[in-house]
Structure 1
Amino acid sequence: MKSLLSNLKIDINDKIYMKDPESSKLGKRIIEHSIKLIDDIGFESFTFKKLGVIIGSNESSIYRYFDSKHKLLLYLTSWYWAWLEYQLVFSISNIKSPHEKLEKAIVILTRSVQADSTFSHIDEVVLSRVVINEYSKSYLTKEVDLDNKEGYFAIYKRLIIRLRDIIVEVNSNYKFPHSLASTVIDGALHQHFLKDHFKAITDCNDTIQPSDYFTHLVSNTLKSN
Protein backbone atom coordinates (compact mmCIF):
# COMPACT_ATOMS: atom_id res chain seq x y z
CA MET A 1 0.00 0.00 0.00
CA LYS A 2 2.86 2.38 0.82
CA SER A 3 4.24 2.12 -2.72
CA LEU A 4 0.84 3.07 -4.12
CA LEU A 5 0.31 5.91 -1.68
CA SER A 6 3.78 7.36 -2.32
CA ASN A 7 2.65 8.81 -5.64
CA LEU A 8 -0.62 10.19 -4.34
CA LYS A 9 -1.36 13.82 -3.70
CA ILE A 10 -4.18 14.48 -1.29
CA ASP A 11 -6.60 16.83 -2.98
CA ILE A 12 -8.27 19.48 -0.86
CA ASN A 13 -11.01 21.88 -1.97
CA ASP A 14 -9.07 24.78 -3.47
CA LYS A 15 -11.57 27.27 -2.01
CA ILE A 16 -10.12 26.57 1.43
CA TYR A 17 -6.70 28.03 0.65
CA MET A 18 -5.36 31.09 -1.15
CA LYS A 19 -2.27 29.25 -2.40
CA ASP A 20 -1.78 25.49 -2.33
CA PRO A 21 0.57 24.80 0.60
CA GLU A 22 1.78 21.66 -1.17
CA SER A 23 3.23 23.84 -3.92
CA SER A 24 6.18 25.22 -1.94
CA LYS A 25 8.61 24.48 0.87
CA LEU A 26 7.15 27.34 2.90
CA GLY A 27 3.63 26.01 2.45
CA LYS A 28 4.67 22.57 3.65
CA ARG A 29 6.40 24.14 6.67
CA ILE A 30 3.21 26.04 7.46
CA ILE A 31 1.28 22.76 7.49
CA GLU A 32 3.92 20.81 9.38
CA HIS A 33 4.39 23.33 12.16
CA SER A 34 0.76 24.42 12.44
CA ILE A 35 -0.14 20.83 13.32
CA LYS A 36 2.54 20.75 16.00
CA LEU A 37 1.65 24.16 17.38
CA ILE A 38 -2.10 23.51 17.56
CA ASP A 39 -1.37 20.20 19.27
CA ASP A 40 0.88 22.01 21.73
CA ILE A 41 -1.19 25.08 22.66
CA GLY A 42 -4.67 24.40 21.29
CA PHE A 43 -6.61 26.05 18.47
CA GLU A 44 -7.92 28.91 20.60
CA SER A 45 -4.39 30.08 21.48
CA PHE A 46 -2.98 29.41 18.02
CA THR A 47 -2.22 32.47 15.86
CA PHE A 48 -0.44 33.05 12.59
CA LYS A 49 1.92 35.39 14.44
CA LYS A 50 3.02 32.58 16.76
CA LEU A 51 3.35 30.22 13.82
CA GLY A 52 5.43 32.78 11.92
CA VAL A 53 7.91 32.99 14.80
CA ILE A 54 8.36 29.22 14.77
CA ILE A 55 8.88 28.90 11.01
CA GLY A 56 10.93 32.10 10.76
CA SER A 57 8.56 33.84 8.39
CA ASN A 58 6.40 36.95 8.42
CA GLU A 59 2.78 36.58 9.51
CA SER A 60 1.80 38.13 6.19
CA SER A 61 3.42 35.27 4.28
CA ILE A 62 1.10 32.78 6.01
CA TYR A 63 -1.92 34.87 4.98
CA ARG A 64 -0.86 34.32 1.38
CA TYR A 65 -1.79 30.68 1.89
CA PHE A 66 -4.78 30.94 4.26
CA ASP A 67 -6.96 33.96 4.93
CA SER A 68 -7.84 32.79 8.47
CA LYS A 69 -6.90 30.17 11.01
CA HIS A 70 -10.38 28.71 10.55
CA LYS A 71 -9.54 27.94 6.92
CA LEU A 72 -6.26 26.41 8.04
CA LEU A 73 -8.15 24.13 10.46
CA LEU A 74 -10.52 23.16 7.64
CA TYR A 75 -7.50 22.31 5.50
CA LEU A 76 -5.86 20.17 8.20
CA THR A 77 -9.03 18.27 9.02
CA SER A 78 -9.90 17.77 5.35
CA TRP A 79 -6.40 16.42 4.77
CA TYR A 80 -6.86 13.99 7.66
CA TRP A 81 -10.19 12.69 6.39
CA ALA A 82 -8.79 12.27 2.87
CA TRP A 83 -5.75 10.41 4.21
CA LEU A 84 -8.05 8.17 6.27
CA GLU A 85 -10.14 7.55 3.16
CA TYR A 86 -7.07 6.32 1.29
CA GLN A 87 -6.27 4.00 4.19
CA LEU A 88 -9.80 2.64 4.05
CA VAL A 89 -10.00 2.17 0.29
CA PHE A 90 -6.70 0.30 -0.01
CA SER A 91 -7.34 -1.82 3.08
CA ILE A 92 -10.70 -3.19 1.93
CA SER A 93 -10.13 -3.28 -1.84
CA ASN A 94 -9.52 -7.06 -2.00
CA ILE A 95 -12.02 -8.13 0.66
CA LYS A 96 -15.05 -9.87 -0.82
CA SER A 97 -17.07 -10.67 2.29
CA PRO A 98 -19.28 -7.71 3.29
CA HIS A 99 -19.00 -8.67 6.96
CA GLU A 100 -15.21 -8.85 6.84
CA LYS A 101 -15.11 -5.60 4.87
CA LEU A 102 -17.26 -3.84 7.47
CA GLU A 103 -15.17 -5.13 10.37
CA LYS A 104 -11.96 -3.98 8.66
CA ALA A 105 -13.48 -0.60 7.81
CA ILE A 106 -14.49 0.00 11.43
CA VAL A 107 -10.98 -0.82 12.63
CA ILE A 108 -9.40 1.54 10.08
CA LEU A 109 -11.77 4.39 10.94
CA THR A 110 -11.69 4.06 14.74
CA ARG A 111 -8.22 2.78 15.68
CA SER A 112 -5.37 4.81 17.12
CA VAL A 113 -3.43 6.27 14.20
CA GLN A 114 -0.02 4.83 13.40
CA ALA A 115 2.89 6.79 11.91
CA ASP A 116 2.91 6.92 8.10
CA SER A 117 6.16 7.88 6.36
CA THR A 118 4.44 8.53 3.04
CA PHE A 119 4.04 12.26 3.70
CA SER A 120 7.26 13.46 5.31
CA HIS A 121 6.01 16.92 6.32
CA ILE A 122 2.91 15.66 8.12
CA ASP A 123 2.93 13.68 11.34
CA GLU A 124 -0.34 11.79 11.12
CA VAL A 125 -0.21 10.73 14.77
CA VAL A 126 -0.05 14.36 15.92
CA LEU A 127 -2.62 15.39 13.32
CA SER A 128 -5.01 12.74 14.64
CA ARG A 129 -4.76 14.31 18.10
CA VAL A 130 -5.54 17.69 16.58
CA VAL A 131 -8.61 16.24 14.84
CA ILE A 132 -9.78 14.51 18.04
CA ASN A 133 -9.42 17.71 20.06
CA GLU A 134 -10.31 20.39 17.53
CA TYR A 135 -12.41 19.03 14.65
CA SER A 136 -15.76 20.14 16.10
CA LYS A 137 -14.48 23.74 16.07
CA SER A 138 -14.38 23.61 12.27
CA TYR A 139 -18.17 23.21 12.01
CA LEU A 140 -19.64 24.51 15.27
CA THR A 141 -19.80 28.00 13.80
CA LYS A 142 -22.48 30.38 12.52
CA GLU A 143 -21.01 29.95 9.04
CA VAL A 144 -21.36 26.16 8.94
CA ASP A 145 -24.15 26.13 6.34
CA LEU A 146 -22.20 28.44 4.03
CA ASP A 147 -19.03 26.40 4.54
CA ASN A 148 -20.97 23.24 3.78
CA LYS A 149 -22.42 24.81 0.63
CA GLU A 150 -18.87 25.67 -0.46
CA GLY A 151 -17.95 21.99 -0.13
CA TYR A 152 -15.54 22.34 2.78
CA PHE A 153 -16.84 19.16 4.42
CA ALA A 154 -17.13 17.09 1.23
CA ILE A 155 -14.34 14.65 2.09
CA TYR A 156 -15.69 14.05 5.59
CA LYS A 157 -19.18 13.38 4.20
CA ARG A 158 -17.77 11.16 1.45
CA LEU A 159 -16.03 9.02 4.05
CA ILE A 160 -19.30 8.58 5.94
CA ILE A 161 -21.06 7.57 2.70
CA ARG A 162 -18.35 4.95 2.05
CA LEU A 163 -19.01 3.39 5.43
CA ARG A 164 -22.76 3.72 4.93
CA ASP A 165 -22.49 1.73 1.68
CA ILE A 166 -20.63 -1.10 3.44
CA ILE A 167 -23.27 -1.19 6.17
CA VAL A 168 -25.97 -1.54 3.50
CA GLU A 169 -24.02 -4.42 1.93
CA VAL A 170 -24.21 -6.25 5.24
CA ASN A 171 -27.84 -5.43 5.99
CA SER A 172 -29.85 -3.64 3.32
CA ASN A 173 -32.92 -3.64 5.58
CA TYR A 174 -31.31 -1.54 8.29
CA LYS A 175 -33.22 1.75 8.42
CA PHE A 176 -30.50 4.09 9.67
CA PRO A 177 -27.24 3.41 7.77
CA HIS A 178 -26.24 7.08 7.46
CA SER A 179 -26.81 7.68 11.16
CA LEU A 180 -24.87 4.57 12.12
CA ALA A 181 -21.96 5.46 9.83
CA SER A 182 -21.70 9.01 11.15
CA THR A 183 -22.02 7.73 14.72
CA VAL A 184 -19.02 5.46 14.19
CA ILE A 185 -16.79 8.14 12.68
CA ASP A 186 -17.74 10.98 15.01
CA GLY A 187 -18.08 8.64 17.99
CA ALA A 188 -14.55 7.36 17.49
CA LEU A 189 -13.18 10.88 17.95
CA HIS A 190 -15.31 11.29 21.08
CA GLN A 191 -14.25 7.96 22.61
CA HIS A 192 -10.58 8.72 21.98
CA PHE A 193 -11.10 12.08 23.69
CA LEU A 194 -12.86 10.49 26.65
CA LYS A 195 -10.16 7.84 26.94
CA ASP A 196 -7.54 10.56 27.28
CA HIS A 197 -9.44 13.11 29.39
CA PHE A 198 -12.61 11.67 31.00
CA LYS A 199 -11.70 8.09 31.82
CA ALA A 200 -14.56 7.71 34.29
CA ILE A 201 -17.25 7.89 31.59
CA THR A 202 -15.87 5.50 28.99
CA ASP A 203 -15.02 1.80 28.99
CA CYS A 204 -12.18 2.43 26.54
CA ASN A 205 -8.69 2.29 28.01
CA ASP A 206 -5.26 0.88 27.24
CA THR A 207 -6.78 -2.59 26.90
CA ILE A 208 -10.19 -1.86 25.37
CA GLN A 209 -9.90 0.32 22.30
CA PRO A 210 -12.62 2.36 20.57
CA SER A 211 -12.30 -0.12 17.69
CA ASP A 212 -13.42 -2.91 20.02
CA TYR A 213 -16.44 -0.93 21.15
CA PHE A 214 -17.59 0.13 17.68
CA THR A 215 -17.05 -3.33 16.18
CA HIS A 216 -19.28 -4.73 18.93
CA LEU A 217 -21.84 -1.94 18.60
CA VAL A 218 -22.24 -2.18 14.82
CA SER A 219 -22.22 -5.98 14.73
CA ASN A 220 -24.94 -6.29 17.35
CA THR A 221 -26.96 -3.43 15.89
CA LEU A 222 -27.11 -5.02 12.46
CA LYS A 223 -27.81 -8.50 13.87
CA SER A 224 -30.70 -7.32 16.04
CA ASN A 225 -32.23 -5.52 13.07
Structure 2
Amino acid sequence: MIAIHIQLNENLYLRDPQQTKLGRKIIEYAIILIEELGFEKFTFKKLACKIQSTEASVYRYFENKHKLLLYLVCWYWEWTMFQIDYNSMNIDCPAKRLKIILSTLVTSSQTNPAVEYVDENRLHRIVVAEGIKAYHTKEVDDENKEGLFLNYKTLSKVIADAIQAVKPDFPYPNTLASSLIEMASDHIYFAEHFPSITDVSVEEGRLDAVVNMLAFFTFKMLDHPIPE
Protein backbone atom coordinates (compact mmCIF):
# COMPACT_ATOMS: atom_id res chain seq x y z
CA MET A 1 0.00 0.00 0.00
CA ILE A 2 1.35 3.45 -0.95
CA ALA A 3 1.33 6.03 1.85
CA ILE A 4 -0.22 9.36 0.88
CA HIS A 5 1.13 12.68 2.12
CA ILE A 6 -1.09 15.70 1.48
CA GLN A 7 0.82 18.91 0.78
CA LEU A 8 -0.64 21.95 2.58
CA ASN A 9 0.39 25.57 3.13
CA GLU A 10 2.93 25.81 5.94
CA ASN A 11 1.08 28.80 7.41
CA LEU A 12 -1.73 26.47 8.46
CA TYR A 13 0.36 24.86 11.18
CA LEU A 14 3.32 25.45 13.48
CA ARG A 15 4.66 21.94 12.96
CA ASP A 16 3.51 19.56 10.22
CA PRO A 17 1.33 17.01 12.05
CA GLN A 18 1.73 14.48 9.25
CA GLN A 19 5.42 14.12 10.08
CA THR A 20 5.13 12.75 13.63
CA LYS A 21 3.22 10.05 15.47
CA LEU A 22 1.76 12.58 17.91
CA GLY A 23 0.80 14.94 15.09
CA ARG A 24 -1.03 12.20 13.23
CA LYS A 25 -2.80 11.27 16.46
CA ILE A 26 -3.87 14.90 16.90
CA ILE A 27 -5.40 14.88 13.41
CA GLU A 28 -7.09 11.51 13.92
CA TYR A 29 -8.79 12.41 17.19
CA ALA A 30 -9.51 16.04 16.27
CA ILE A 31 -11.63 14.68 13.42
CA ILE A 32 -13.41 12.30 15.78
CA LEU A 33 -14.10 14.94 18.44
CA ILE A 34 -15.16 17.76 16.11
CA GLU A 35 -17.54 15.39 14.34
CA GLU A 36 -18.96 14.15 17.65
CA LEU A 37 -19.09 17.43 19.62
CA GLY A 38 -19.33 20.13 16.96
CA PHE A 39 -16.70 22.82 16.45
CA GLU A 40 -18.03 25.18 19.13
CA LYS A 41 -17.77 22.59 21.92
CA PHE A 42 -14.44 21.20 20.70
CA THR A 43 -11.39 22.37 22.69
CA PHE A 44 -7.70 21.58 22.74
CA LYS A 45 -8.16 20.53 26.37
CA LYS A 46 -10.66 17.85 25.37
CA LEU A 47 -8.41 16.78 22.50
CA ALA A 48 -5.38 16.52 24.79
CA CYS A 49 -7.38 14.39 27.21
CA LYS A 50 -8.50 12.11 24.37
CA ILE A 51 -4.93 11.50 23.14
CA GLN A 52 -3.55 11.32 26.70
CA SER A 53 -1.24 14.27 26.17
CA THR A 54 -1.16 17.95 27.16
CA GLU A 55 -2.73 21.08 25.72
CA ALA A 56 0.77 22.47 25.29
CA SER A 57 1.64 19.58 22.97
CA VAL A 58 -1.35 20.39 20.76
CA TYR A 59 -0.42 24.07 20.67
CA ARG A 60 3.01 23.11 19.38
CA TYR A 61 1.26 21.99 16.17
CA PHE A 62 -1.59 24.50 15.83
CA GLU A 63 -1.91 28.13 16.90
CA ASN A 64 -5.62 27.72 17.74
CA LYS A 65 -8.62 25.56 16.94
CA HIS A 66 -9.62 27.76 14.00
CA LYS A 67 -6.30 26.98 12.30
CA LEU A 68 -6.86 23.29 13.07
CA LEU A 69 -10.32 23.38 11.45
CA LEU A 70 -8.91 25.22 8.45
CA TYR A 71 -6.15 22.62 8.20
CA LEU A 72 -8.71 19.79 8.18
CA VAL A 73 -10.90 21.47 5.57
CA CYS A 74 -7.90 22.19 3.33
CA TRP A 75 -6.73 18.61 3.79
CA TYR A 76 -10.11 17.42 2.57
CA TRP A 77 -10.09 19.69 -0.52
CA GLU A 78 -6.59 18.56 -1.42
CA TRP A 79 -7.68 14.95 -0.92
CA THR A 80 -10.59 15.64 -3.27
CA MET A 81 -8.12 16.99 -5.84
CA PHE A 82 -6.03 13.83 -5.49
CA GLN A 83 -9.15 11.73 -6.09
CA ILE A 84 -10.16 13.82 -9.12
CA ASP A 85 -6.73 13.36 -10.69
CA TYR A 86 -6.86 9.62 -10.04
CA ASN A 87 -10.46 9.08 -11.19
CA SER A 88 -10.19 11.18 -14.36
CA MET A 89 -6.83 9.85 -15.47
CA ASN A 90 -6.77 9.01 -19.21
CA ILE A 91 -10.30 10.39 -19.73
CA ASP A 92 -10.15 12.34 -22.99
CA CYS A 93 -13.84 13.27 -23.36
CA PRO A 94 -14.37 16.69 -21.62
CA ALA A 95 -18.00 15.94 -20.71
CA LYS A 96 -17.17 12.57 -19.17
CA ARG A 97 -14.28 14.12 -17.24
CA LEU A 98 -16.57 16.84 -15.89
CA LYS A 99 -19.13 14.27 -14.81
CA ILE A 100 -16.40 12.32 -12.98
CA ILE A 101 -15.29 15.52 -11.25
CA LEU A 102 -18.84 16.22 -10.08
CA SER A 103 -19.18 12.69 -8.75
CA THR A 104 -15.81 12.90 -6.98
CA LEU A 105 -16.84 16.15 -5.27
CA VAL A 106 -19.45 14.10 -3.43
CA THR A 107 -17.91 10.62 -3.19
CA SER A 108 -14.36 11.49 -2.12
CA SER A 109 -15.68 11.01 1.42
CA GLN A 110 -15.14 7.26 1.06
CA THR A 111 -12.57 6.06 3.56
CA ASN A 112 -9.19 5.13 2.09
CA PRO A 113 -6.87 2.85 4.10
CA ALA A 114 -3.83 4.54 2.54
CA VAL A 115 -4.24 7.32 5.13
CA GLU A 116 -4.72 5.45 8.39
CA TYR A 117 -5.02 8.51 10.63
CA VAL A 118 -7.78 10.21 8.61
CA ASP A 119 -11.33 8.92 8.47
CA GLU A 120 -12.39 10.62 5.24
CA ASN A 121 -16.04 9.84 5.92
CA ARG A 122 -15.99 11.64 9.27
CA LEU A 123 -13.93 14.45 7.79
CA HIS A 124 -16.48 14.89 5.01
CA ARG A 125 -19.23 15.27 7.60
CA ILE A 126 -17.13 18.00 9.25
CA VAL A 127 -16.71 19.79 5.91
CA VAL A 128 -20.49 19.60 5.36
CA ALA A 129 -21.45 20.77 8.85
CA GLU A 130 -18.55 22.99 9.88
CA GLY A 131 -16.51 23.81 6.77
CA ILE A 132 -18.03 27.24 6.14
CA LYS A 133 -16.73 28.36 9.57
CA ALA A 134 -13.18 27.95 8.29
CA TYR A 135 -13.47 30.92 5.92
CA HIS A 136 -16.53 32.94 6.97
CA THR A 137 -14.47 34.89 9.50
CA LYS A 138 -13.22 38.43 10.08
CA GLU A 139 -9.68 37.26 9.30
CA VAL A 140 -10.53 35.83 5.87
CA ASP A 141 -8.76 38.53 3.84
CA ASP A 142 -5.54 38.31 5.83
CA GLU A 143 -5.61 34.51 5.70
CA ASN A 144 -6.25 34.63 1.97
CA LYS A 145 -3.13 36.79 1.54
CA GLU A 146 -1.19 34.07 3.37
CA GLY A 147 -2.42 31.53 0.83
CA LEU A 148 -4.46 29.52 3.33
CA PHE A 149 -7.31 28.94 0.86
CA LEU A 150 -5.15 27.89 -2.07
CA ASN A 151 -6.42 24.29 -1.96
CA TYR A 152 -10.03 25.46 -2.22
CA LYS A 153 -9.23 27.91 -5.02
CA THR A 154 -7.20 25.32 -6.92
CA LEU A 155 -10.08 22.87 -6.76
CA SER A 156 -12.49 25.53 -8.00
CA LYS A 157 -10.13 26.39 -10.87
CA VAL A 158 -9.90 22.74 -11.93
CA ILE A 159 -13.71 22.54 -12.07
CA ALA A 160 -13.93 25.85 -13.95
CA ASP A 161 -11.40 24.62 -16.52
CA ALA A 162 -13.38 21.41 -16.96
CA ILE A 163 -16.55 23.46 -17.51
CA GLN A 164 -14.84 25.55 -20.18
CA ALA A 165 -13.51 22.42 -21.86
CA VAL A 166 -17.14 21.37 -22.37
CA LYS A 167 -18.44 24.82 -23.35
CA PRO A 168 -15.65 27.33 -24.10
CA ASP A 169 -18.03 30.28 -24.45
CA PHE A 170 -19.82 29.69 -21.12
CA PRO A 171 -19.64 33.13 -19.42
CA TYR A 172 -19.57 32.08 -15.75
CA PRO A 173 -17.19 29.09 -15.30
CA ASN A 174 -15.73 30.28 -11.98
CA THR A 175 -19.13 31.16 -10.54
CA LEU A 176 -20.55 27.79 -11.50
CA ALA A 177 -17.48 25.95 -10.18
CA SER A 178 -17.57 27.53 -6.73
CA SER A 179 -21.36 27.13 -6.59
CA LEU A 180 -21.06 23.41 -7.33
CA ILE A 181 -18.58 22.95 -4.49
CA GLU A 182 -20.95 24.66 -2.08
CA MET A 183 -24.02 22.83 -3.43
CA ALA A 184 -22.33 19.48 -2.90
CA SER A 185 -22.01 20.20 0.82
CA ASP A 186 -25.10 22.34 1.37
CA HIS A 187 -27.61 19.89 -0.04
CA ILE A 188 -26.19 16.96 1.89
CA TYR A 189 -26.63 19.10 5.00
CA PHE A 190 -30.12 20.21 3.95
CA ALA A 191 -31.19 16.64 3.21
CA GLU A 192 -30.12 15.59 6.70
CA HIS A 193 -31.44 18.59 8.65
CA PHE A 194 -33.80 20.73 6.48
CA PRO A 195 -35.29 18.28 3.97
CA SER A 196 -38.09 20.70 3.04
CA ILE A 197 -35.64 23.07 1.30
CA THR A 198 -34.00 20.52 -0.99
CA ASP A 199 -35.19 17.96 -3.52
CA VAL A 200 -32.56 15.33 -2.78
CA SER A 201 -32.45 12.73 -0.04
CA VAL A 202 -29.52 11.02 1.60
CA GLU A 203 -30.46 7.56 2.81
CA GLU A 204 -28.09 5.14 4.52
CA GLY A 205 -25.14 7.26 3.47
CA ARG A 206 -25.93 6.97 -0.25
CA LEU A 207 -25.14 10.22 -2.05
CA ASP A 208 -26.23 9.28 -5.59
CA ALA A 209 -29.08 11.81 -5.51
CA VAL A 210 -26.64 14.65 -4.81
CA VAL A 211 -24.36 13.55 -7.65
CA ASN A 212 -27.34 13.41 -10.02
CA MET A 213 -28.48 16.87 -8.95
CA LEU A 214 -25.06 18.40 -9.61
CA ALA A 215 -24.88 16.74 -13.02
CA PHE A 216 -28.42 17.90 -13.91
CA PHE A 217 -27.75 21.56 -13.05
CA THR A 218 -24.30 21.62 -14.63
CA PHE A 219 -25.12 20.08 -17.97
CA LYS A 220 -28.43 21.95 -18.25
CA MET A 221 -26.57 25.23 -17.85
CA LEU A 222 -23.98 24.12 -20.39
CA ASP A 223 -26.72 23.00 -22.78
CA HIS A 224 -25.03 19.62 -23.08
CA PRO A 225 -26.45 16.12 -22.57
CA ILE A 226 -25.31 14.29 -19.44
CA PRO A 227 -22.77 11.69 -20.61
CA GLU A 228 -23.33 8.03 -19.83
Calculate the TM-score normalised by the size of structure 1.
0.95
Question: Which residue in the other structure is 2:222 paired with?
Answer: 222
CA distance in 2, matches of 1:45, 1:30: 17
Moved over 4 A (4+): none
AA at the equivalent of 1:48: F
The equivalent residue for 1:10 is 6
SS in 2 for 1:15: helix
- 1:42 is aligned with what amino acid? G
Instruction: State the alpha-carbon separation in 1 of the partners of residues 3 and 69 from structure 2.
Output: 25
CA distances 1:9-62 after superposition (whole Å, capped 9, x unpaired) = 101111111111011111011000000000000000110001011000011110
Equivalent residues of 1:48, 1:62 under 8 A apart: yes
Q: Percent identity of the aligned residues?
A: 40
Q: How many residues align?
A: 220
**Are the equivalent residues in 2 in contact too, given 1:39–1:130 (CA < 8 A)?**
yes
In structure 1, what is the equivalent of residue 37 of structure 2?
A: 41
1:185 equivalent in structure 2 = 181
Where does residue 197 of structure 2 map in the other structure? 201
Determine if the alignment matches structure 1 residue 113 to structure 2 residue 109.
Answer: yes
Shift of 1:110: 2.5
Which of residues 51, 57, 61 in structure 2 aligns to 1:55? 51
Question: How far, CA to CA, are the matches of 2:97 and 2:59 in structure 1?
Answer: 43
Q: Tell me how far 1:8 sits from its aligned partner.
A: 3.3
Give TM-score scaled by structure 2 length.
0.93
Cα RMSD for the two superposed structures: 1.3
d(CA) in 2 for partners of 1:79, 1:110: 15
8 Å contact from structure 1 (residues 32, 122) kept in 2:
yes
**Where in structure 2 are the equivalents of 1:143-154 lying within 5 Å?**
143-154=139-150
- 1:209 Cα shift? 1.5
How far the C-alpha of 1:203 sits from its partner, in A, is 1.0
Quote the offset at 1:112 in angstroms. 6.8
What is the CA distance between 1:111 and its match in structure 2? 3.4
Amino acid at match of 1:57: S
* Structure 2 letter corresponding to 1:59: E
Q: SS in structure 2 opposite 1:223?
A: coil
C-alpha distance in 2, partners of 1:209/1:144? 32
- Aligned match for 1:73, one of 69, 74, 87: 69
1:103 aligns with 2:99: yes
Contact 2:4 2:115 survives alignment (8 Å):
no
Distance 2:35 2:109 in 1: 15
Alpha-carbon distance, 1:201 to partner: 1.2
Structure 1 runs not aligned, ≥5 long: none
1:110 touches 1:184 (CA, 8 Å); kept in 2? no
Whether the 8 Å contact between 1:184 and 1:214 is mirrored in structure 2 is: yes
Q: Distance in 2 between matches of 1:14 and 1:186?
A: 25
